[in-house]
Amino acid sequence: MQKNLTQSHPSILTLYFGEMTQARYLYSVLTLIGFTVIVLANGAVIIVIVLHQTLHKPMYIFISLLCINSLYGCFAFFPSLFVNLLSTTQTISYIGCITQVFCLHTYGGCELSLLTIMALDRYVCICNPFWYNQIMSLPTVCKLAMAAWLIGIIPVSTFVLMTIRLPLCGNLILKIYCDNWSVVRLSCIDTTINNIFGLCIIVGFLTVMPAFILFSYAEILKVCMKSSKVFQAKAWQTCAPHIISVINFMVIRLFEFLNNRLSLSSWSNNLSIIMVVQAFVLQPVLNPLIYGLKLKKIKTKMIQFFFQKTYGSER
């Protein structure tokens, strides 16, 4: 019995790095740079928002949670990538692979949940400004934040538990990281239930939440069309970073969905790597960058905090 259980899950899985191994040191340096930039950029935004009481408002709290989620995804992806680039063989333990599956999928689910809640926040702020403080109270913000994490964690936990039960007949993951679909396709038995459940979760995430975001911005657009140009400019300033984040996220996830479900083998490995970079490097860098530059309060506080600290130390 123990023997069969052991054989059902290979202890070591092999990742597919393709031509990346031919320039492993270059990619290692780029990985280290990307990791450092993500940690510093997101960390800076979090520190500034936490330390300045004037930024303890719903919009900035959600931005800080978005940055925390970026750090979570960063630590789930980069260490494994960096180690494998410096190794002669690109492998990962089965437990490590399942852990990465859970972390990367919850990172994606929480990202979209937070972006949806941020759309709700902008909708209430612009369409119902007089009721904003009452509706988006601190208890409500805490409940929404908790909901964002639960929406990201509960479905992922379910399909990861379903994946763990599958016996595997192969050990080659055709990506540079582990995702649920890549593990499921190695199974020796029928995976119809896993496929249907996974498809329902993906379609649910990529239709319901984006539909809510579109509805929110349609209502915001109606209000803006009836308002002054000054109001329109202010609304655009606060909404533009969020729109950019949503568009980038949706492009990444739609590509991943098409690549996994339709098996687009004609797409080059280089294009897949580019999309991985966009998912795990560009998106975590983009969030603090656009929010830090577009939102005046964050930009001002960051300049004051870091430049005053530097000036004070020099004195």
16 neighbors 172 (Cβ within 8 angstroms)? yes
Give SS3 for 147: helix
pTM, whole model, 2 decimals?
0.86
- The 10s digit of each residue's pLDDT in 171-208 is 888 888 998 888 998 988 888 898 888 888 888 888 88
pLDDT value of residue 227: 79
- The alpha carbon dihedral of 95, 171, 256, 288 has a sign of positive
Over residues 251-275, mean pLDDT: 67
> With 80 as the cut, is the pLDDT of residue 291 above it?
no
CA dist., res. 234 & res. 227, Å (int): 11
Where does residue 187 fall: left (phi above 0), alpha (psi -120 to 50 degrees), or beta otherwise?
beta
The single-letter code of the amino acid at 36 is T
Is 310 a residue whose pLDDT tops 60?
A: no
**Given this model, what pLDDT does residue 67 score?**
93
pLDDT of residue 242: 82
State in Å, rounded, how far the first CA of the chain is from the last one.
71
So what's the pLDDT on residue 305?
Answer: 66
* Helix residue ranges, H only, 165-295: 180-184, 192-225, 229-261, 269-277, 283-294
Give the span between the Cα atoms of 185 and 188, in whole angstroms: 9
> With bands split at pLDDT 50, 70 and 90, how would you rate the model's confidence at 75?
very high
Q: Is the pLDDT of residue 259 over 80?
A: no
pLDDT the model gives residue 295: 67
The pLDDT of residue 262 is above 60: yes
Please state the φ and ψ torsions of residue 92, each to the nearest 5 degrees: -150, 145
More reliable by pLDDT, 199 or 9: 199
CA distance to 62, 187, 219, 247, per residue, from 46 (Å): 10, 41, 30, 23
pLDDT of residue 5: 41
266 pLDDT band (50/70/90 cuts)?
very low
Enumerate domains of the chain plus CATH numbers.
2-314 (1.20.1070.10)
Report the chain's C-alpha Rg in angstroms: 22
CA distance linking residue 148 with residue 116, whole number of Å: 9
Q: Cα separation of 109 and 253, whole Å?
A: 10
pLDDT above 50: residue 1? no
Phi, psi of 228 (to 5 degrees): -75, 165
**Burial classification of residue 53, based on how many CB atoms lie within 10 Å of its CB (0-12 exposed, 13-18 middle, 19 or more buried):** exposed
Strand partners, 93: 12
Q: For residues 79 and 304, what is the distance between their CA atoms, to the nearest angstrom?
A: 33
Coil/strand/helix, residue 16: coil
